[in-house]
Structure 1
Amino acid sequence: MPDDPLRVGVVGVGVMGADHARRLAGRIANATLAAIADPDRDRAQELATQLGGVRVHADPLELIRDDGVDAVLLASPGSVHTEQLLACIERGTPVLCEKPLTMDSESSLQVIEAERAAGRSLIQVGFMRRFDPEYMRLKQLLDSGRWGRTLLLHQTHRNLTVPNPHFRSEMIVRDSLVHEVDCARFLLGEEIASVQVISPTPTRHALKGVVDPQVSIFRMASGAVVTNEVFVNSRTGYEVRCEAVAETGSAIIGRPSSGIYTTGVGPDGGEGTWGGGIDPDYRTRFERAYDIEVQAWVDASRRGELVGPTSWDGYASTVVCTAGMESLSTGAPVDVVLRAPVTRT
């Protein structure tokens, strides 16, 4: 492992990318924030000034080719990931890519094939829940076989609201449910065989024509069943929970807690309340998971290794979500078919 810190460039400094840039600048050991890139030059420059004057590129490909950058964290829109990932592979640069890997299965396979042809695994996909301490403990518990086979998972994913007026029904599948897809594959250690998306009556807070909440059902390769609720305009806060039901036991993670548990009459004299708050968004709920994820990626990159979700995991999740979007339009179950990549020489 080299003595010098890993020089990281961040591509895309919207909400997620800016959060990662601050993380790299202030909380990650053995790494330094070397550069940032964003088409919005003013936004990038403002962030760079806040973080001590790191280099700014308007063109992400310039950052990827920057000789002062050892590794890249991609927080750019998924529509541009293919080009940027291929550029990282061509240069031999380790990359942490926020989901999605790419927007469709064909381009995801193209990325996997390029990575395999290069002879080195370079891509870690940003499914941060795999690094969350509660998810890691649940994974260890299920893998131990203590309670026999895992038969069911029940997953809940709620957002306070989605201010983006372009966040349509399909995006709830592609951009939100994708986390439940990866968690099901991670916790159960197998692929999803089919997906069905059911459309309840939408909340009045949803945009016109948007199906929210959505309920989906995964049937796993072993026959295990996973139920998922995704509700992006819940108006209560950011809630992510998972219950695993095995043959002789069950476990729940993600329940809110506080230093003191209290109950009492509500402020209007109505139903009771408890004394804890609800996280406002994913950055608060999974802050520790993001810290662990990025630190693990930095440490592995300095060793020339890869940890965490791979490009294959990104591809598999894309295929499942594509099937989910098809099911959203029909209400019927859709089979998930994964294709093995063929490395081109």
Structure 2
Amino acid sequence: MRVGIIGLGHRLGYLGYVFRAIDESFEIAGYVDPAPAGLAELEAKGVSAGRQYASPAELIAGERLDLLMIGSPNHLHLDHIRIGLEAGLKVFCEKPIVTTIEDSLELAGLMGRHGHERLMVGLVLRYSPLYRDLRAAQGAGLLGDVVSIEASEHIEPYHGAFFMRDWRRYERYSGSFMLEKCCHDLDLYNGVAGARPERVASFGGRKSFVPANDPAKEGVNDLELFYRKPSGWESTDKVFDSDADIIDYQVAIVEYANGVGMNFHTNLNVPDQFRRFCVIGSRGMAEGDFVRGYLDVHRMLTGEKAVSNRYANETALSQHYGADEQMAADIVAHLQQGVDLPVSTQDALEAGILALSMDEARAKRSVVDLRPVWDRFDEALLRRAA
């Protein structure tokens, strides 16, 4: 399987190694990136990145490709996806696939013209054993009808500092923190809810990564924590006085079309991080945490614990609770054997629209009604080339 890469950052540098470990035929033929942050780690693991090209057009013209992988900064994804689709290629794009509502509608139109099966998206948590077990418990009727969801994604200060230093600190590149980091989680709970979100309210801002909280002002000299995670393009050494325009905490409430309610909380400065959920249904409840590695399901009538699963936080290959290698295996099987994937481009777009609506609600301090957006979205999905 010959692959071309647009945007050889740390993520695709890592995934290149994972795909190669899963499938020995995986070969990177070439890449486009003027400053490939992931190249050294890829080559250190014995995986060649092939030839460097100056542009996506030159890469596509110069190589016979079975798959185009996109890991460029988020705001460039739509153009790079379009180039791949118009060249007749299968495309894998890291999340989030686009950064605005308008780009979401444009990509929906591209899917209508080129086919949904042509684009795969790196919403890796859909492949995690924990989430698969949660959906299996739901499918077995252990929860009954889902009523409400409580969920969160909280990251440690070293990771929060990375966002304040990296290109992702600018919403014009990332879309927003909620979109860049939490679209994974929103996609999962959209799937559990079984309906589209209709109304959203949200509040948040930045209170932790601000000058008043800089430990250096208190005489702390060992600041390695805040530089532990490397950044690449457009990076800065500033953390607490960064020019970032993203938030470092946000809360949101969501009402789905079927009446399911959800509250979601994210924070970038949590010393003992967790990524947990509680799904409460008419027949039972499921509690889990991806970081702490558990899933418990209790029956409503008896209080009996029907599921008690424990998971490894990381595996030999995976940075995402066993999900990275499963995603690689599933995508290879999809390309070679036509096996269905657990997440679609439409799922990714719907999760992204929810994240963006949370930011709109936060900025406007008002409830956002998504029903008009879904009308436009469905119209775009149905578009066909004349």
Please indicate, yes or no, whether the TM-score normalized by the shorter chain is above 0.5. yes
Counterpart for residue 222 of structure 2: none
Residue 202 and residue 74 in structure 1: after superposition, are their counterparts in 2 closer, same or farther (change >3 A)? same
How far 1:117 moved relative to its partner? Answer: 2.1
Say if 2:143 and 2:281, in contact at 8 Å, map to a contact too.
yes
With 300-309 and 137-146 compared, the bigger mean Cα shift is at 300-309
Choose the corresponding residue for 2:180, options 175, 179, 182: 175
SS at match of 2:117: coil
Q: Deviations over 1:23-44 (max 9, x none)?
A: 122x212641223424235656
Counterpart in the other structure of 1:332: 366
Identify if the C-alpha distance between structure 1 residues 60 and 233 changes in structure 2 by more than 3 Å, giving closer, same or farther.
farther
After TM superposition, give the deviation of residue 310 of structure 1 in Å.
2.0
- Which residue, 5, 12, 16 being the options, matches 2:7? 12
State how far apart, in whole Å, the 2-side matches of 1:123 and 1:28 are: 20
Which residues of 2 match residues 61-80 of structure 1 at below 5 A? Answer: 61-80=57-76
- Unaligned ranges ≥5, structure 1: 1-5, 259-277
CA distance in 2, matches of 1:89, 1:99: 17
Amino acid at match of 2:18: R
Gaps of 5+ in 2: 214-238, 294-311
Q: CA shift at 1:122, angstroms?
A: 0.6
Identity of aligned residues (%): 18
Q: What aligned pairs does 1:90-239 form with structure 2 within 5 A after superposition?
A: 90-119=86-115, 121-160=117-156, 161-162=159-160, 163=162, 164-165=164-165, 167=169, 171-199=176-204, 202-203=207-208, 207=240, 211-237=247-273, 239=274
Equivalent position to 2:276, from 241, 257, 269: 241
2 CA distance for matches of 1:190 and 1:178?
Answer: 16
Distance (Å, rounded) in 1 between the aligned partners of 2:86 and 2:339:
17
Structure 1 residues 228 and 31, CA, compared in 2 at 3 Å: closer, same or farther? farther
Paired amino acid for 1:14: G
1:65–1:104 distance in 2 versus 1, CA, 3 Å: farther
Q: CA deviation at 1:13?
A: 2.0
TM-score w.r.t. length of structure 1:
0.81
Aligned residue number for residue 343 of structure 1: 384
Aligned length, in residue pairs: 317
In structure 1, the partner of 2:320 is 286
1:1-51 Cα offsets, whole Å, 9 max, x none, are xxxxx22223222221111111122x2126412234242356566456433
Which TM-score applies when normalising by structure 2? 0.73
The equivalent residue for 1:269 is: none
Report the 3-state secondary structure (helix = DSSP H, G, I; strand = E; otherwise coil) of the residue aligned with 1:199: strand
Whole-Å separation in 2 of the counterparts to 1:279 and 1:120: 32
Structure 2 Cα separation of the partners of residues 120 and 252 of structure 1: 33
Who is 1:253 aligned against? 288
Which residue matches 1:34?
28
Is 1:295 the counterpart of 2:329? The answer is: yes
User: 1:162-194 CA distances to partner (integer Å, 9 max, x unpaired)?
Assistant: 223362687222212322221121122211112
* Deviation (angstroms), 1:328: 1.2
Secondary structure class of the residue paired with 2:176: helix
Question: Contact between 1:24 and 1:31, CA under 8 Å: does it hold in 2?
Answer: no
Tell me by how many angstroms 1:304 deviates: 4.7
The structural deviation recorded for 1:296 is 0.5
| Contact 1:172–1:230 (Cα < 8 Å) also in 2 | no
- CA contact under 8 A between 1:82 and 1:102: conserved in structure 2? yes
Cα distance, 1:222 vs. partner? 1.0
**Deviation string, structure 1 residues 202-223 (Cα, Å, up to 9, x no partner):** 3365856764321111111111
> How far 1:107 moved relative to its partner?
2.5
Question: Shift in Å at residue 344 of structure 1?
Answer: 2.6
Task: Return closer, same or farther for 1:66/1:295 CA change in 2, 3 Å cut-off.
Answer: farther
- 1: CA distance, partners of 2:318 / 2:39: 25
Once the two structures are TM-superposed, the CA of residue 297 in structure 1 deviates from its matched residue by 0.9
